[in-house]
Structure 1
Amino acid sequence: MSASAASAPESLAAAIDRVGGAVQLLRNAPAAPTVFPVTPEFSNWRSEQKSWRTSVALLDQSHHMTDLFLRGPDALRLLSDVGVNSFAKFGVDNAKQFIAVNHEGYLIGDAILFYLAEEEFDLVGHPMVIDWVQFHLEKGDYDATFERDGNSIVRPGNPALYRYELQGPNALALMERVTGAPVPPTKFFHMTTFTIDGLEVRSLRHGMAGQPGFELFGPWEQGERVRQAIIDAGAEFDLVLVGSKAYSSANLESAWVPSPLPAIFSGEGTQEYREWLPAARAGSLAGSLVSDDIEDYYITPYDIGYGRSVAFDHDFIGRAALERHAAAPPRTKVTLVWRPEDIAAAQATLLEPGVPAKYIDFPKARYGLYQVDRVVKDGVDVGISHDCGYITNEHAFVSLASIELAHAEPGTEVTVIWGEEPNTNKPVVEPHRQIAIRATVEPAPYSAYARENYRAG
C-alpha cells in the first residue's frame, strides 16, 4: 500500500463494512448534531427569538454552511441533471431551493442555489447535497470547475464570503437607512445589489423564520465593515444580534427540515458514491426509530413539503421513480405541538431518583445530525418526527414531522416516542429511558404569519 493510500481518510463504504451496516454505523457515530460556530447568545435566546417577530434580527450565517462555487459552460447542465427543480426560467440574480434525490426518488438533501453570473453559481448549505453534486461533477463529463469552501469547523482560515441575515418587521426600514436609498421591489428569492458604507453588497430577498428578510453577502474581507454599519444604523430600529442558539431554532417557525437522512446508503449508483465519500461526512442518526433497514429512514420530497419544487420538465437522476412517488405520496409535512405537561414530566425525571428520560434541550433538542423519532397513533406507527425545539413566539415546543395523510388533519392527537431503546454509544447520549409524549397535529409552518406570507411567497 502506498503512503498516500495509507493516509487517505476512511470511506463511507469501508466504514459500513467495518461495523456491519449503515444503521449501526450512524446510530453509534461520534458526530455531533449540527454545530454553529458563532456566539451562542448575545443577550438570551428567548429575547433573540422574539426579535425577528417584533423588531429586526441580525444573524451571522458566515460560518456553519458549505459553499460549492460552480463555474463553466456545463455548470447549469450539471445542476439540471442532478436537481429536481425546473431551470427553464432560472437566470442571473435568481436563487432557488435546490433539491436532489437518488435513483429511487428518495431525498438526498437540499441547499440554496445562487445564480451569481453567467456560467457561475454558488450552492450553499449543509454538505449532504453539496457532496452529491460535487461527486457527479467529478465523475461526469461536464465542462465545469468547482471550488469548495467548507464551514469554519473544517476549513482552515476565513470563509470566502460573509453572509448575514436581516429579518423582522423593521428589516425594510433598516435597509433603507443603512443604504440611504429606497429598497427596490425585489421578488422572493431574487437578488439585488446595495451599497453599504461605500461597499457593494449583494442581497437575496429571503426570510428564514417566516418574517421579511434580506440575506446579505460579499467578500469576507468587507464583512466586518458591513456588519458594523448595520449595527450603527440599527439602534433606532431595535436591532438585536442573534446567536447560534436562537438561530438554530428559526427553521421551526418557517417549517424547514434542516437535515433529513440522505438516501445514499442503498440503491442504484450509490456504492461508488460511498467509496468516494469520507466516512467523517456521514453524520449521526438519533431517535426512537430503530430498524435494520436503512431505507426505513428515507423520505421523499413530498414527505417534507418539497413537492411544489419538483418539475418533470427535464430529465434528472431519479425522475421516473419520483413520478411514481408523486402519483400517491404517502406522507405530508406537519407541525406537532408537544403537550406541555408531558415535557414537564420528562424534565422532572432529572430531579428524581432512577434513570431519567432523555434530556430535552432548549431551544433545540436534536441530539443527532439526523433526528428520526417514531410517531404513533393508537399504538401504530404513522410517521416520523424530525427536528424539534421551542418557539418563544408561539409559547410552544414543536417538532416538524412527516405523517401519513390519513392522520395529518390539524387537531389529530398522536404520540412522539422520545429517547432511544436501547441507548446508543453517541457521546451526546446519556443513560436514559424512553418515554411517550403526546402531541397535536398542526399546520406547517405553525406560525400563521409564516403560512400566509412566507410560504405563500
Structure 2
Amino acid sequence: MPPETLAAAIARAGDPVALLRNAATPPHTFPIAPEFTNWRSEQRAWATTCALLDQSHHMTDLFVEGPDAQRLLRDLAVNTFANFGVNRAKQYVAVGPDGSLIGDAILFHLEGELYDLVGHPMVIDWVQFHLETGNYAATAERDDNSAVRSGPPRFYRYELQGPTAAAVIEQATCAPLPETKFFHMAEFSIAGRRVRGLRHGMAGQPGFELFGPWADGDAVLAALLDAGRDHGLVRAGAKAYSTANLESGWVPAPLPAIFGDDPVLRAYREWLPATAVGSLGGSVDSAEITDYYLTPFDIGYGRTVRFDHEFVGRAALERMADAPPQRKVTLVWNAEDVAAAIGSLFAPGPGAKHLELPKARYALHQQDKVLAGGAQVGVSLDCGYIANERAMVSLATVDVAHSAPGTEVTVLWGEEPNSAKPQVEEHRLRQIRATVAPVPYVQFARDEYRGK
C-alpha cells in the first residue's frame, strides 16, 4: 500500500495547522552517540581546541547529474550560479511562488555535471519533485539519512572545528594546510585515502568538513583521532552537535511554505509523503498556516538572494527586497526566568514546558511568540544552552523596530492549549524575559565566519 500523501493527511486532519501541531513526528535527531564525554566539555572543545563531529548519518544527499543538472538547481534557487565551478559549495536556498521559504541545504559542485545537495529533506524533496515532473536532462540518486536508509551511507563526513583544527589536519596529512577560501574545497591524503574537504565553520569556528567514500571512513577517522591527541581533539556527540547552530546563527528547520493554492504546490502535496513533514510546536497559535511562513530576509539570507536569473519566487522576493520588515537576531534569555521555569518541576504543577538541555526545541518546526508591550513582534525559532557563553539563547526573527542589540523583549514559552504531540506534557505558558543580541552571537563567528 503506498504511503499516505501530504494532501490526503491534510484532508484527514482538516487543515495543515491541526495536522502539524498534533503530529507524532519528533524533533530531528542525530543518529550518533549522545555524548562521548559530556556535552558541556564537547561544546567547549570547538571554542578552545578542536571538536570532531560525525555528520555521516543525519543528513540526506541528493546527487544530481546531467547536462541540465545546474539548470534544474538554478531554476529553484535564490542563489547566483555565476562562477560556481567545481570544488565550490554554497548554502542553497529555495522559496515557493510567494517568496516564502521552502528550505535550505549545502550544494557541492563535485564534478563537471555532478552536484551533491546535502541537508534536511525539505529542499531536497522540492528539487527531486521538480526533476521528476519537469523537463530536465538529468538524473538523481538519493541517499537518505541513517534513520531511514538501510545499509551504510555513500559518504562519511567528519567536521573538524576549533582553533587547532588546522594543526590536526596538517599532522594527519603530513603536509601544510593548503590555502582554501571560505566554502571552497581542497583535497587531502589521509591514511592513504583521498579526502575532500570543505572550508567552513559549523559552529562559527575555523574548520573543515572532510568527506569521502564510506569504505574509507574508519581509516580516516582513526588517523584524525591519532593526530588529534596532540592538539586537544574531543569527539562531540549528538547533544553538543545539536547546539552548534546557535553559535553560528543558522536556523535549522523553518516550516516549508508548501501549503498554498498554487497548482504546483497542490501537485507537490499529492506527490509528497505525509511523513516528510515534521511537527509544529510553540506558542505561536494562529489557525492560518501562512502565519508560520518565513522568508529568506527573515532569517538572514537576504545577501544570498540574487536577481541575475529566473527562479521560482523571484517576483515575490523583488517586492520584498527593499524594506524587509523583520530581521534575524539572537535572544539571550533571562537567567533567573530560565531557572524559575526549570525549577517549576519541583513545585506543585502543572509547571512550565520542560526546558531540555542543551537543546530545548521539542518540535521539528519550533515557533514561540516574541512579545514587546504585550504585542507580538517576532518569532523565536530555535533555542538551547551554550556552555561557552553560559547562556540560554534562541535564534529569532523580530520586527526591525525591535531588532537593536539591548532591546528587551519576552519569549512566550510553551503551548496553550497543549497539543497532542507525544513530547508535550501538561504545562502552562511561561513568560521569559530576553535581550536582543547580534547574530551570530559568538564574536569570533561575527568577525571571521559571517564576515567572509
| 2:233 maps to which of 226, 239, 246 | 239
Q: % of aligned pairs identical?
A: 64
- Counterpart of 2:103 in 1: which secondary structure? strand
- 1:94 and 2:88 correspond: yes
| Structure 1 counterpart of 2:247 | 253
Structure 2 CA distance for aligned equivalents of residues 244 and 387 of structure 1: 16
Partner of 2:266: 271
Whole-Å separation in 2 of the counterparts to 1:428 and 1:378: 31
- Is 2:306 the counterpart of 1:306? no
**Which whole-Å CA distance do the structure 1 matches of 2:162 and 2:286 have between them?**
42
The one-letter code sitting in structure 2 at the alignment partner of 1:12 is L
TM-score, normalised via structure 1 length:
0.98
2:450 matched to which residue of 1?
455
| Counterpart residue type for residue 445 of structure 2 | A
| Contact map agreement 1:103 1:267 (CA 8 A) in 2 | no
* 1:327 CA displacement: 2.1
Residue matched to 1:109: 103
How high is the TM-score relative to the length of structure 2?
Answer: 0.99
Aligned: 1:8 with 2:2? yes
State yes or no: 1:365 paired with 2:360: yes
Please list every run of 5 or more consecutive structure 2 residues that lacks an aligned counterpart in the other structure: none
How far apart in 1 are the matches of 2:375 and 2:351?
25
Counterpart amino acid of residue 277 in structure 2: A
Question: 2: distance between equivalents of 1:41 and 1:279?
Answer: 32
Q: What is the correspondence of 1:334-349 to structure 2 with a 5 Å cutoff?
A: 334-349=329-344
Equivalent in the alignment of 2:35:
41
Match of 1:434 in 2: 429
Query: Counterpart in 1 of 2:194?
Result: 200
- 1:44-55 correspondence to structure 2 within 5 Å: 44-55=38-49
Alignment of 1:72-87 (within 5 A): 72-87=66-81
How far did 1:346 drift? 0.4
Residues 342 and 437 of structure 1 are in contact (CA less than 8 Å); yes or no, is this contact kept in structure 2? yes
1:382 lines up with 2:389 in the alignment:
no
- What per-residue deviation string (whole Å, max 9, x for no partner) do you get for residues 286-314 of structure 1? 00000110000001100000001110000
Q: What per-residue deviation string (whole Å, max 9, x for no partner) do you get for residues 131-171 of structure 1?
A: 00000000100000000000000001110100000010000
Q: What CA RMSD, in Å, does the superposition of the two structures yield over aligned residues?
A: 0.5
Partner of residue 218 from structure 1, selected from 212, 216, 226? 212
**Distance in 2 (alpha carbons) for counterparts of 1:37 and 1:326:** 39
Unaligned runs of 5+ in 1: 1-6
SS of alignment partner, residue 163 of structure 2: coil
Please list, as runs of the form range in 1=range in 2, the aligned pairs for 1:349-360 lying within 5 A after superposition. 349-360=344-355
Query: Stretches of 4+ moved more than 4 A in 1?
Result: none
Residue 182 (structure 1) shift: 0.6
Q: Distance in 2 between matches of 1:158 and 1:176?
A: 28
Aligned residues: 451
Check if 1:125 corresponds to 2:92.
no
The alpha-carbon distance between structure 1 residues 267 and 450, as it changes in their structure 2 partners (threshold 3 A), is farther
Give 1:147-158 correspondences, 5 Å limit. 147-158=141-152
Q: CA deviation at 1:267?
A: 4.1
**What letter is aligned with 1:114?**
F
